[in-house]
Amino acid sequence: MSLFEVRHQPRAHRLVQRAMEGRRFPHAYLFAGPEGVGRELFAQRLARLLLCDEPASRESVETEGLADWSGAVADACGKCQSCRLCMSGSHPDLHVISRDLIKQHPDPTVRGRMGLDLSIDVIRTFVIDEVGHKPVMGRAKFFIVREADLMSRSAQNALLKTLEEPPATTFLILITRSVDTLLPTTRSRCQVVPFGMLPTAFVADEIVRRLPEMSGEAAEWYAEIADGSLGTALHLIEFDLQSHRDGVSGLLSGLTRTAPTALAKKLIDTAKKIGEEFRKRDKDLSDTEAQRRGLRLMFVLLASLFRGALRKATESGGRFEAVTGAIAAVRTAESQLKLNTNVTLTVESLLIQLGRLARR
Ligand SMILES: [Zn+2]
């Protein structure tokens, strides 16, 4: 349960240890980086360290970025009451803020809303009002804001004063994919901590460590397509993406012979099946959104198949222009999906394009 379980994030570790050494902690952090690389885990462990009654000091630690660290390193003790409460997820001074808190809002009209963004109602009630109260256990109050990039403009503006002059005992960590998605005024009031992609080999090892029944080959496949994100890899495993690999690959081999509309239908049918799995986990999901999520996974699969083809073409001196064209086409279709365009049309036009490239 150590801070150092978060691996391959050297900059985050150095910044925190430097702050511990100087006993000067910024009150607002912005953890910026891709999903599934340890941002939230690091935030949780950092909160535990700052809330711990007796932080432990270790001579050295084997982790990236601290190999040449000369002083002692700090970590939570893991034994005090505060640490135990953090571990059980019930520390009264550790607040995890996410957009679905809207369903717990005291106002029934607000509760009825969808919560697609991180609204001002959630920020006001669960952060700003909370900041005004003293810590329950005396030491500090900690707020971890998930998906901070989804904070509406008004939510960010409402939060400014808290970010600017937080009470001495209040700490905030905003978790975001990229710093650019936040207003400059929000950004400038936080210390930015960049998080990077994880090495593929590490992701594969982690998968096997967590899921010992999985074969090394499958773990490597997932690590490869997850592109340096352990979270993404585990997500794809949950939806058993590999089981669709051969089907989709077979579909692509029919590109020159079969009508694109027929292929599109097959692809959408598979996406629907995966979409049903999404629905089992989130009953509030609409049909369209479930299908969209399924399709997003199909695109991940397509992109990975084309990347594999690109590798082969480059090695054998084959026609890699067609393959790079295909990768670009998948990327375009992916971004169209985000723009709420008609799903069937998007997939059909993708397959028409892929068919043309295959015939070249
Ligand atoms: Zn402790």
**Lowest-confidence pick of 67-76, 171-180, 228-237:** 67-76
The domain limits of the chain are 3-194, 239-359
Number of Cβ atoms within 10 Å of the Cβ of 342: 11
pLDDT of res. 72: 86
pLDDT beyond 90 at 228:
yes
**Lowest-confidence pick of 224-233, 300-309, 333-342:** 333-342
pLDDT of res. 115: 79
Q: What average pLDDT does the segment 7-12 reach?
A: 94
246 to 64, 187, 249: CA distances (angstroms): 38, 45, 5
Give the phi and the psi of residue 75 in degrees, each rounded to 5. Answer: -150, 160
pLDDT beyond 90 at 172:
yes
Residue 221: closest CA among 277, 305, 330, 326: 305
pLDDT of res. 234: 96
Q: What is the CA radius of gyration of the chain?
A: 23
pLDDT in tens, 30-69: 999 999 999 999 999 999 999 999 998 888 777 888 878 8
pLDDT beyond 90 at 208:
yes
Instruction: Point out which residues pair with 142 in neighbouring strands.
Output: 94, 171
pLDDT of res. 179: 92
CA 46 distance to own-chain centroid: 18
As a whole-number percent, the residues of the chain with pLDDT over 70 amount to 100
Helix (H, G, I), strand (E, B) or coil at 128: helix
How many A from CA of 180 to the centre of ligand 1?
Answer: 35
How many A from CA of 94 to the centre of ligand 1?
Answer: 14
Rounded to two decimals, the pTM is 0.87
pLDDT of res. 114: 80
Alpha-carbon gap, residue 222 to 224, rounded angstroms: 5
Helix (H, G, I), strand (E, B) or coil at 224: helix
How many A from CA of 53 to the centre of ligand 1?
Answer: 5
How many A from CA of 89 to the centre of ligand 1?
Answer: 14
pLDDT beyond 90 at 132:
no
Alpha-carbon gap, residue 35 to 13, rounded angstroms: 18
How many A from CA of 74 to the centre of ligand 1?
Answer: 11
- For helices 260-281 and 343-359, the axis angle rounded to 10 degrees is 130
How many A from CA of 76 to the centre of ligand 1?
Answer: 5
Residue 149: closest CA among 227, 228, 231, 35: 35
Q: Are strands 56-58 and 73-75 parallel, antiparallel or unpaired?
A: antiparallel
Residue 299: closest CA among 323, 268, 277, 276: 268
How many A from CA of 151 to the centre of ligand 1?
Answer: 32
Q: Please tell me the CATH code under which domain 3-194 is placed.
A: 3.40.50.300
Number of Cβ atoms within 10 Å of the Cβ of 326: 24
pLDDT of res. 358: 84
CA 34 distance to own-chain centroid: 6
How many A from CA of 1 to the centre of ligand 1?
Answer: 11
Could you give the count of Cα atoms lying within 13 Å of 13 in the half-sphere of its Cβ?
25
104 by Cβ neighbours in 10 Å (0-12 / 13-18 / 19+) ranks as exposed
Tokens 């993708």 belong to 350
pLDDT beyond 90 at 302:
yes
CA 37 distance to own-chain centroid: 7
How many A from CA of 330 to the centre of ligand 1?
Answer: 48
As a whole-number percent, the residues of the chain with pLDDT over 90 amount to 72
- The band of 316, judged by pLDDT with boundaries at 50, 70 and 90, is confident
How many A from CA of 56 to the centre of ligand 1?
Answer: 8
Please give the DSSP secondary-structure letter assigned to residue 134. Answer: P
How many A from CA of 17 to the centre of ligand 1?
Answer: 17
- The band of 283, judged by pLDDT with boundaries at 50, 70 and 90, is confident
pLDDT of res. 30: 96
How many A from CA of 44 to the centre of ligand 1?
Answer: 13
Residue 327: closest CA among 345, 317, 314, 344: 314
Q: Where are the extended beta strands (E) located within 177-288? A: 191-194
Q: What average pLDDT does the segment 134-157 reach?
A: 94
Q: What average pLDDT does the segment 73-102 reach?
A: 94
pLDDT of res. 318: 72
Average pLDDT, the chain: 92
pLDDT beyond 90 at 126:
yes
Give the phi and the psi of residue 342 in degrees, each rounded to 5. Answer: -65, 120
How many A from CA of 88 to the centre of ligand 1?
Answer: 13
CA 83 distance to own-chain centroid: 25
How many A from CA of 193 to the centre of ligand 1?
Answer: 24
